Amino acid sequence: MSEADSRSEAVSTGGAGKSGAPQRRTRQRAAVDKVLSAGTDFRTAQQIHDELRHSDAAVGLTTVYRTLQLMADSGEVDAIRTSDGEMSYRRCSGGHHHHLVCRSCGRTVEISGPTVEKWANAVAAKYGFRDVDHELEIFGTCGDC
């Protein structure tokens, strides 16, 4: 990714991200947001780009990648790295949660894990860490596959 691609496009109207800076609301961003809002499973930038092409939305693949990164950075979408190393994105509910993801069809279930939270905090405390955060995705094959 080039330096220009990695720069934040913060200005103007959209909602504020984690940094508090307003996020730019463009036609392309609205198109990506519409695709994400229509689905419940994680999708790659290429899959989102394909959906946009089939809906006649003129959004380049580089713009899709940049938009998804900005949305992930601002907390608008969750991003996970799949077992093959590719990033996938989806709009999720608020609050801390984890994901159960089917390797075959991509079906995703949001789960809470109080036991995981206690374990993570205990391990962090044991080694003197504080202000701890974590992410957990569990990959498997769903019952339908």
C-alpha dihedral sign at 65, 50, 99, 106: negative
* 117 among annotated binding-site residues: yes
Bridge partner residues of 87 (DSSP): 81
* 102 among annotated binding-site residues: yes
* 92 among annotated binding-site residues: no
Q: Which of 35, 136, 26 lies closest to 90, judged by CA?
A: 35
Q: How far apart are CA 36 and CA 133, in angstroms?
A: 25
* 96 among annotated binding-site residues: yes
CA angle 41, 95, 25 (to 5 degrees): 70
User: Binding site for Fe cation: residue ranges?
Assistant: 96, 117, 134
Question: Which amino acids are annotated as binding site for Zn(2+), given as ranges?
Answer: 102, 105, 142, 145
The binding site comprises 96, 102, 105, 117, 134, 142, 145
